[in-house]
Amino acid sequence: MQIKVLFAGEGVKIPGIDIGLSFAGFKIWTGPPFMGFTSATNQALLGFSIIETPVIDLGDLGEPRETLFKQLHTRVVFVKIKPNIFFRDGGIATVSVTIKEQTGGELQDQTIEFVAEDCRGVSATGGDIEFSVQLNQLPEDEWDPFGSVVP
């Protein structure tokens, strides 16, 4: 399985508490065959980031886990991105995506985590970027993860 992530957001937090004003967009592509998913989040973010990972090969995740991560439409995912404190093109980011999955009557976390080198964009954030979001499928003409997304 392969994956690519794009995160873009900016905002400020009120010092000492986890409340702030921000807006961010998130896109994720999984495949092959590739499909894209997107959503927006207003969770508090300190700083400014546009992080576009290259397409990363995760290897064989096995079934049904691979199918789970390829069918993200309407799924709520928990995302954590650990970028370099500051970078401009060529940065490194660790990305984890977690789905809460009901399995045999129990709620279990299904997580994929990967390190992406040579990220495109710019990032200047105060710590990790963490948010939860419900994804929706992108229009089919936006399913190509190899195209340039960051201007």
pTM, entire model: 0.87
Asked if pLDDT for residue 142 goes beyond 90, the answer is: yes
Banded model confidence at residue 41, pLDDT cuts 50, 70, 90: confident
Q: In percent, how much of the chain has pLDDT > 90? A: 54
Over residues 99-113, the mean pLDDT reads 82
Residue 151, pLDDT score: 56
Best CA proximity match to 8, nearest among 34, 41, 54, 37: 41
Identify any residues that bridge with 78 across adjacent strands, giving them in sequence order: 98, 132
C-alpha 34/C-alpha 14 separation (Å) is: 39
Distances (CA, A) of 70 to 17, 123, 146: 36, 27, 17
Asked if pLDDT for residue 19 goes beyond 70, the answer is: no
Residue 104, pLDDT score: 72
Over residues 2-20, the mean pLDDT reads 79
Identify any residues that bridge with 20 across adjacent strands, giving them in sequence order: 13
Asked if pLDDT for residue 43 goes beyond 90, the answer is: no
